[in-house]
Amino acid sequence: MNISFPSCSPEYCAPDLALGFTSLVDDRPVRCSITAEALEDHFGARSPREEDLVDAFVAHRVEIELAAQRLLNEVGGKPVVLHSGYFRFCT
């Protein structure tokens, strides 16, 4: 499975308190997201405000995309949500 990440900006999803971003799995777009809680707990986001989440995502994009890649491999290229617990127990 070939997984890559376009350099698009993440999208804030207020109802889910998460940032969404796109991966390409064998050239097919697959939605990924990371929760505000994960960004606060593990990547230094100062609050769940959009600006703070995006800043943390941008500063740690490589680590977040590597985690998403591992999880995409585990679930066969289906959409993934990176929760705080994933970083606590799997990285």
User: 88: pLDDT confidence band, cut at 50, 70 and 90?
Assistant: confident
Answer yes or no: is 88 within a domain: no
User: 91: pLDDT confidence band, cut at 50, 70 and 90?
Assistant: low
Answer yes or no: is 87 within a domain: no
Tell me the pLDDT tens digit for each residue of 42-73: 999 999 999 999 999 999 999 999 999 999 99
Query: 30: domain CATH number?
Result: 3.30.160.140
Range 3-19 average pLDDT: 96
The predicted structure's pLDDT at residue 38: 98
The domain tally of the chain equals 1
Answer yes or no: is 17 within a domain: yes
Task: Print burial letters for 35-68: b (CB count within 10 Å at least 16), e (below 16).
Answer: bbebbbebbebeebebebbbbbbeebeeebbebb
Structural domain including 77 reads 3-82
Answer yes or no: is 91 within a domain: no
The predicted structure's pLDDT at residue 51: 97
Range 18-38 average pLDDT: 98
Answer yes or no: is 19 within a domain: yes
